[in-house]
Amino acid sequence: MTGAYTIGAVCAPAAVVAFELTTLRTGILRRGRFWVTIAITLAFQVPVDGWLTKLSAPIVLYRPAAISGARWPWDIPVEDFGFAFAMITLTLALWERVRSVSKPKRRVGIWSDQRGACDERGGKTPAAGAPEASGETLP
Amino acid sequence: MDAWQYLLVLAACVAVTLPLEIAGGARVYRRPKALLATLAPVLAVFAGWDLAAVHHGEWWFSPRYTLGLRIAGLPVEEWLFFLVVPVCALLTYEVLGRGAGRWSRAARRAPR
């Protein structure tokens, strides 16, 4: 029931979420766009991971004791979704962080043709009134 | 041909998401520095997890469906997985971010 991968697949998403909330603080978890990305990515994970883990001809094989044994959909170990959520969330949060750090340069006007600067600021405006959001874009 | 399976799965992921950069307005590949700064820590953490798990025998990879090229004990396909999958997610995220500002701001810039 509680294989090493099972434990990892529960702890990793929690650790990444904690890292975002305490350290990166991009506010990404409050954005609908993040959750839609997660939904789309996990949906595409089904055919891809399903192919990799299908028990009839597996590309990735798991030691039975390392996993819970719950496989859904198809033969995908449910743990894989925890791994994927953690990896994608860390990726998107770091991307937001990296982009917000490089943004002030663009505001000066050197890169005024970069549409990202305006789009990102526009996107954040509605949240500017939220108490914790105000400080977040200014590292 | 079986040995190419894992690599072909990854190639399919790249092929399916590439139009998001080319025609969908996402700028991910075109921000190589930001991309590298994002992928490096992700690779370190999750390939690290992968390496440890393989070392402990929690999972392993079929010799039949991988090319057999290994780096530090992981098939080269598995290393590529940690680059391909995050990029797919970033392309999706960036395309979704284009929606709101697209007509108001991009249209204003159109005369350029």
Q: How confident is the model at residue A129 (pLDDT cuts 50, 70, 90)?
A: very low
**Is pLDDT of B40 > 90?**
yes
Residue B70 contacts A where some CB pair is shorter than 8 Å: no
If you average pLDDT over residues B80-90, what whole number do you get? 98
| Closest CA–CA distance from residue B60 to any residue of chain A (Å) | 5
**Is pLDDT of A131 > 60?**
no
Q: Which residues in chain B are contacts of A6 at CB distance < 8 A?
A: none
Answer whether A119 sits within 8 Å of B34, measured CB to CB. no
A59-68, A103-112, B55-64: range with lowest mean pLDDT:
A103-112
Q: Which residues in chain A are contacts of B41 at CB distance < 8 A?
A: 90, 94
Q: Could you please report the per-residue DSSP string of B74-111?
A: EEHHHHHHHHHHHHHHHHHHHHHHHHHHIIIIIHHHTT
| Closest CA–CA distance from residue B22 to any residue of chain A (Å) | 16
Output the CA–CA distances (angstroms, integers) from residue B37 to A11, A101, A121, B94, in the order listed. 24, 11, 21, 16
Closest by Cα among B101, B107, B45, B102 to A88:
B45
Domain ranges (residues) in chain B: 2-109
* Contact between residue A90 and residue B86 where contact means Cβ atoms under 8 Å apart: no
**So what's the pLDDT on residue B100?**
55
**Is pLDDT of B64 > 50?**
yes
Q: Which residue has the tokens 């874009």?
A: A137
Residue B40 contacts A where some CB pair is shorter than 8 Å: no
| Closest CA–CA distance from residue A129 to any residue of chain B (Å) | 19
Q: How confident is the model at residue A1 (pLDDT cuts 50, 70, 90)?
A: low
Q: Which residues in chain B are contacts of A123 at CB distance < 8 A?
A: 97, 100-101
Q: What percent of chain B has pLDDT over 70?
A: 88
A53-62, A71-80, B62-71, B93-102: range with lowest mean pLDDT:
B93-102
Helices (H), A20-114: 32-53, 79-108
Rounded to an integer, what distance in angstroms lies between the CA atom of residue B21 and that of residue A64?
Answer: 40
ipTM of the complex: 0.89
| Closest CA–CA distance from residue B32 to any residue of chain A (Å) | 12
Q: Is residue A27 classed as helix, strand or coil in its secondary structure?
A: coil
Q: Which residues in chain B are contacts of A115 at CB distance < 8 A?
A: 101, 105-106, 109
Q: How confident is the model at residue A12 (pLDDT cuts 50, 70, 90)?
A: very high
Q: How confident is the model at residue A2 (pLDDT cuts 50, 70, 90)?
A: confident
